[in-house]
Chains A and B, each alone.
Chain A
């Protein structure tokens, strides 16, 4: 069962991060917090969303690193290699699907 949980973990983390950032964006826009000026001439909304994206990417990278270790990655073989493949997929997914927070208008 541990193998199944390991297999499910990376993309589940992506799904949670993705949903959380979507929800965070909704909250920022609904309560007009996105337009508040922050440091470096940036809006607070942008800073918060980019920071959340960075956290999500770092989390996925850490998951990959942890799964690479023998202690948490499980014994070598099919399940381990598939889990690592999925951890890489999840890292790419986190970088790609949340990338818009850095470039698009916030609440238009």
Chain B
């Protein structure tokens, strides 16, 4: 481990700021024109496009909301029929949850996180660009389907049997299942990027305890995405397999159970609420102390509360299922856990109140929206505690009270802080200071109108109005309240439109912002405004949590190149990788330049998801092949054929490049991907166990008897798959021949694949019973992973032949080894789960 450099010592390269700016700009800039937009992977541009797309989807979701309120404004309304209304409310929830809420904070994270952490870009810029385009293609397909009248109409959580082929025969549910799944792939890509960035890509000396509080929040949220979304992806896969091929996972007559969908959906869905709330809370904890001209009270307590909230939120999913007939004792578990989450939430709220108390608050526009948050979110939190209590929940379930509660939490707890964040970070993002004061007017229109709307919706819910009904009778006593709610909603929409107008007008014509207009202490304010494409002219060295307070001259010294990696002579995109805990410089990451690869991979990925919607299965197969080809080209363009050795990063410090270390960022990225994959696998095992114990019509008519040969083949294959990459890596380290190890690994993967294929061959009909369907998915999981293992092993062989590996450059072998280990382990577990009931009937 390398010691931190001492910046007080004379530096050999005191580069003048402008000269450095002129050298760094062409290295980091996008190409001109549309080609530049499509090929960029710089976080400033990718984040900006992400933000614009998410805002557009917010506008679409808002228009849908207005259609809903127009329909409900009067009893017996003929504005929409039930078919159209069902599509509109389904799409409103879907667009707001999947196309706006998550992408919007991901966009802000991509835009701001590198600056906050003192690094030049995200860890995997191409993956960030890939995620952006997959999101845009998937979201556009969902919206296009709506415009064609083909959108889903079963509610944003798509419960079967309503969403099953028997009751929803059109392609609406398929649009939802495939379109949303592709967007979740995008979210997982972004989450992997965020985790590795926060853990490894920071300023020199920025230990975990010195990180900006938003970095903690977004790290926690990214881990939550990796551990919550896979359950939903699995659920979508199972439902699509049922709809398209008749595998009866959710059909009670054939051993399935519709409740399995609810479990899988809410295993994702409840953490999702906190996935949305926590980034907003991170923004609160970032902005509020600056607005109060003080520091966050109880930084450590807030971090502990955020971690607690994140993990506890995974123990709440059944509180969305209190009325499904689950035994009281089980309900009590989740009711208790639901009440417990109020404690860490309260710790955060009291931290913010205490920060306000000890500071000298100013009432600039971001602060107004923060106060709007307080007034709204606390009410939403308290109605949440009410709904966590089983007896009340039984009364209020599926009424407009729940609708009002979730809007208080999501708009008050998410949208208001995000508006505050946009205004607060406007100088960093667009380099303009606010000139036109439309925003204040917008605030005083939006927040009161929100409360008029949703207090009324609470009331009408308590009076018994159920959600998702397309109309109601005049005599039910809901007429005036609904009219008030609808008027309030339209006024609120006008207010949000003014916010967007305000930001756009200020972006176009307001004067340039000076550096750090809020007098904040964190690194994102240390660059010129807006943040240049390269972020920092040199990587800062920090000695505390508030670097600009400790050294007000830091921005100037960074710009002059007095930090690390100010040497532009290598003419490539370089940034610093640090040790996880204490932020000691460890490696130099070489980031990829502009490329068509992310866009191209997004095109084939989205095609593989969306082609089945129109029955183009061969196109889907071709696109899947395209994914493999583009991914291999992508990987091939990384790395080096020569050893570079230690390179000078400034101040006498010499570090290896990330291509010449045993734990390159790619290894960390794969580790995070495997975390998500293991959750998907665990969810599959949970589903299997759930059907086994809870679903009707079990046990199945017969079990799969594996005999002895297939288990033996699987064990030998797994052993070879584990041993092979190790032998190959050892051979590379000793400059020997790696072919033997690579060949052994390939044979091991093929043996495991053969054992898995035997499951399909021995049980050829997966449509008869949920047991057979589950066996097919378990074997399919093994086949998919072993196929990828074979491809990776072949790729490793090609890289060895081409000279990309050496005793110093062994990272790629370790990446293949990690995948092989995981594949061997999960394959044995999956095949064991498939075979054990038949082996010991």
**Interfacial residues, chain A to chain B (CB-CB below 8 A):** 1-4, 7, 11-12, 14-15, 18-19, 21-23, 25-27, 29-31, 77-79, 81-82, 85-86, 89, 92-93, 96-101, 104-108
Q: B337 contacts A18, CB within 8 Å?
A: yes
Q: Is B436 an interface residue (CB 8 A)?
A: no
Please, which residue of chain A has its CB at the minimum distance from the CB of B338? A97
Contacts of A100 in B (CB 8 A): 329, 332-333, 336
**Most chain A C-beta atoms within 10 Å of own C-beta, residue among B332, B689, B694:** B332
Q: A30 contacts B693, CB within 8 Å?
A: yes
Please, which residue of chain B has its CB at the minimum distance from the CB of A108? B328
Q: A77 contacts B327, CB within 8 Å?
A: no
Q: B333 contacts A21, CB within 8 Å?
A: yes
Contacts of B689 in A (CB 8 A): 23
Contacts of A25 in B (CB 8 A): 327, 329-330, 333
Please, which residue of chain A has its CB at the minimum distance from the CB of B339? A96
Contacts of A104 in B (CB 8 A): 328-329, 332
Interface class of chain A by DSSP: helix
Contacts of A105 in B (CB 8 A): 328-329
Q: Is B300 an interface residue (CB 8 A)?
A: yes
A96 to B342, CA, bound (A): 13
Q: Is B116 an interface residue (CB 8 A)?
A: no
If A25-B329, A30-B693, A96-B340 touch, does A3 touch B580 (CB 8 Å cutoff)?
yes
Q: B300 contacts A85, CB within 8 Å?
A: yes
Question: Could you say which of B304, B329, B336, B580 contacts A97, with CB atoms under 8 Å apart?
Answer: B336
Q: Is B581 an interface residue (CB 8 A)?
A: yes
**Most chain A C-beta atoms within 10 Å of own C-beta, residue among B199, B207, B333:** B333
If A79-B209, A97-B315, A97-B336 touch, does A22 touch B330 (CB 8 Å cutoff)?
yes
- Among B293-351, those with CB < 8 Å from A are 300-301, 303-304, 307-308, 311-312, 314-315, 318, 327-330, 332-333, 336-337, 340, 344
A96 to B341, CA, bound (A): 12
Contacts of A19 in B (CB 8 A): 315
Please, which residue of chain A has its CB at the minimum distance from the CB of B307? A86
B543 CB, nearest partner CB in chain A, Å: 15
If A23-B689, A30-B694 touch, does A108 touch B327 (CB 8 Å cutoff)?
yes
Q: Is B208 an interface residue (CB 8 A)?
A: yes
Contacts of A3 in B (CB 8 A): 208, 580-581
Contacts of A30 in B (CB 8 A): 693-694
Which 4 pairs between the two chains have the least Cβ-Cβ distance?
Answer: A78-B209, A100-B332, A11-B311, A85-B304
Q: A81 contacts B300, CB within 8 Å?
A: yes
Contacts of B312 in A (CB 8 A): 11, 93
Contacts A26-B693, A85-B304, A96-B340 known; 10 new A-B pairs at CB < 8 A: A25-B330, A26-B330, A26-B690, A30-B694, A78-B209, A81-B300, A93-B337, A93-B340, A99-B336, A100-B329
Q: B301 contacts A85, CB within 8 Å?
A: yes
Contacts of A108 in B (CB 8 A): 327-329
A98 to B330, CA, bound (A): 9
